[in-house]
Amino acid sequence: MPRTPDRLDRCAPWMPSSASTPVHPNDMRLADAVQRRLLEVAHRRTLGRGEALFLKGSSPDALFGVVRGSLRVSVVASGGREALIALLEPGHWFGEVSLLVGRERVYDTCAAEATEMAVIAAADFHRLVAEFPDVHMAFTRLVCLRLRQALAWIDDVILMPLPVRLANRLLALDAQGQGADSGALLGVSQENLSFMLGVSRQSVNRQLKLWEEDGTLRVRYRGIELLNRAQLEQHAAAPG
């Protein structure tokens, strides 16, 4: 049986930025019993930085879990500009939607750094879903949560101003998620934040500089240091 990775029981910070959504990162965590069943049939795969796990249009041949490292999920527009959909970090299982519907992948997924994956072949995934009701229910719930995320993102784009969206995105990216007042270092660049939110890098930088001035955070090289989580939560509250 493969060794259970230290961080596969953590949920990934791939969450919508809407302050009104009830989906919390911990809601995305698979039950321990389900993870054990998955890991019993999984094998490991490593990717180098920039290496593709799969590309848009490829056949759905496996379910994946991030053990170490991180992955970029993106789409490329006809003009060649990449739009970042998500950064997947340790604890995130993904790929089940294409497996369940039997359709090709709709995004590009590449390693943002050296990354280790748990890989479950499609046949093994379908067998587990068919044989074990807890696995079936876990992935049904996961798909429903992804739908809620998508709806929350749509609400954000239509209704929420940039400061609210950005603050909630930073809170969602807080890998600790334990309400600490200071010290969390979020490994996300301003460019990636701009891709996630669909705005210019300059707009993101301008807002981050304002929050530097009020002591909420500090901008680092390709990262954000969270200095006052409670204050960031206040910035994340929808104006009312």
The predicted-structure confidence for 24-78, as pLDDT tens digits, reads as follows: 545 667 888 998 999 999 999 999 999 999 999 999 999 999 999 989 888 876 6
* Percent of the chain residues topping a pLDDT of 90: 46
Query: Got the DSSP string for 189-217?
Result: -HHHHHHHHTS-HHHHHHHHHHHHHTTSE
Mean pLDDT, rounded, for 185-205: 84
- Cα 157 → chain centroid: 18
Q: What is residue 86's predicted lDDT score, i.e. its pLDDT? A: 78
pLDDT-derived band of residue 5, with 50, 70 and 90 as boundaries?
very low
Enumerate the CATH 2.60.120.10 domain ranges in the chain, comma separated.
Answer: 25-158
Question: Of 101-105, 166-170, 177-181, which gets the smallest average pLDDT?
Answer: 177-181
Q: What is residue 238's predicted lDDT score, i.e. its pLDDT? A: 64
- Tell me if 146 sits within 8 A of 15, measured CB to CB: no
Q: What is residue 119's predicted lDDT score, i.e. its pLDDT? A: 97
Q: What is residue 204's predicted lDDT score, i.e. its pLDDT? A: 94
- Tell me if 67 sits within 8 A of 90, measured CB to CB: yes
Q: What is residue 216's predicted lDDT score, i.e. its pLDDT? A: 94
Supply the pTM of this predicted model.
0.65
The one-letter amino acid at 133: P
- Cα 191 → chain centroid: 16
Enumerate the CATH 1.10.10.10 domain ranges in the chain, comma separated.
Answer: 160-236
pLDDT-derived band of residue 237, with 50, 70 and 90 as boundaries?
confident
pLDDT of 18 strictly over 60: no
CATH superfamily of 25-158: Jelly Rolls (2.60.120.10)
- Write down the mean pLDDT value for the chain: 81
pLDDT of 160 strictly over 80: yes
Right CATH for 160-236 from 3.30.70.580, 2.130.10.10, 1.10.760.10, 1.10.10.10:
1.10.10.10
pLDDT of 181 strictly over 70: no
Q: What is residue 21's predicted lDDT score, i.e. its pLDDT? A: 44
Strand partners, 185: 225
Q: How would you classify the pairing of strands 82-88 and 71-76?
A: antiparallel
Residues 6+ apart with CB under 8 A from 205: 190, 219
pLDDT of 148 strictly over 70: yes
Q: What is residue 104's predicted lDDT score, i.e. its pLDDT? A: 94
More confident residue, 189 or 78: 189
Residues 6+ apart with CB under 8 A from 54: 105, 108, 109
- Tell me if 219 sits within 8 A of 204, measured CB to CB: no
Q: What is residue 108's predicted lDDT score, i.e. its pLDDT? A: 93
Q: Hey, what are 154's tokens? A: 């749509």
